[in-house]
Structure 1
Amino acid sequence: MGLLITAFYASLLGLCYLYLSIVVISVRRREQISLGTGDNPELERLNRAHGNFSEYVPITLILLACLESLGAFTWVLHVGASALLFGRVIHAYGLRHHTGTSWQRVAGMLLTFGAMLFLAAANLYMIHYTVV
């Protein structure tokens, strides 16, 4: 039947990534910065939001796809994937709108790390206790 839940969350996360890309490009154009951040604090924060997204989302989606292919319960998949989605959105918001540490950045990273840990542990559980 396919990896429908993974496809759903990958699509939502893909739209988020596209949005972050457009925001970075618009600031680059406005500030006329083609490479790097030009010591522009706003662009540095946006660049990190974009970079953090691209660093954490792929491996977590792979974990989600593996877990879905192992036949995990739907609710387990939604818990892990929604934690990732909300974590990345909250984190990006915190980086875009606040300098320094903010509760959004902390909450976003906790949700992201929680999603990774949860999905990795669930995969290990499924591998150990399921006959594949």
Structure 2
Amino acid sequence: MNLPIYAAALGAFLIVLQVVLMLSVGLHRSKGQFLGIGDDKDLERKVRRHGNLAENSGLFLVVIALFEMLAGQTTFVLVLCIVFAVARILHALGFASLAGSHGENLTGGRKAFAGMRAMGAFGTLGVALGSAYGIVSTIA
């Protein structure tokens, strides 16, 4: 059985990113909104980018690790890990602005935030399909 070395490295990266996003929410909450988001759009986007990573990272990490255990430390597994890490960074950066999270003031350079969010989402989708394909092709 192959140890999921690449997936373990991805997991270490994801936990650091999760802590950074968690601290962003916590620091914002210290301004007075201790529960929920109220009508604070900045807090909402921070909560959503933290939550989106939490929603996606566990399942993806397990599936990539299972694939790596089946296939070994292949270039394809490494690419999936790198693409997932980059996609999650892009998604978080997209949510760094109300333009990316709420589509507000999408003019000039602010369009980049919406683009980063989209690239992050499509990168995550690509890793989902690539991981599924990799597992099915390995066990078939």
Common topology (TM > 0.5): yes
For the residues of structure 2 that align with 1:3 and 1:87, how far apart are their CA atoms? 20
Matched position secondary structure for 1:77: helix
Q: What is aligned with 2:65?
A: 65
Structure 2: which 5+ runs fail to align?
Answer: 104-113
Contact 1:72 1:126 in 2 (8 A): no
Is 1:56 aligned with 2:68? no
For the residues of structure 1 that align with 2:14 and 2:92, how far apart are their CA atoms? 12
Is 1:90 aligned with 2:90? yes
Contact 1:17 1:53 in 2 (8 A): yes
Contact 2:5 2:73 in 1 (8 A): no
Contact 1:64 1:119 in 2 (8 A): yes
Give the total of aligned pairs. 127
Higher alpha-carbon deviation: 81-90 or 97-106: 97-106
Q: What is aligned with 1:38?
A: 38
Taking structure 2 as the reference length, the TM-score comes to 0.86
Q: Residues 3 and 73 of structure 1: is their aligned pair in 2 closer, same or farther, counting only changes over 3 Å?
A: closer
1:79: how far off?
1.1
Higher alpha-carbon deviation: 110-119 or 90-99: 90-99
1:73: how far off?
4.7
Aligned structure 1 segments of 4 or more residues deviating by more than 3 angstroms: none
Structure 1: which 5+ runs fail to align?
Answer: none
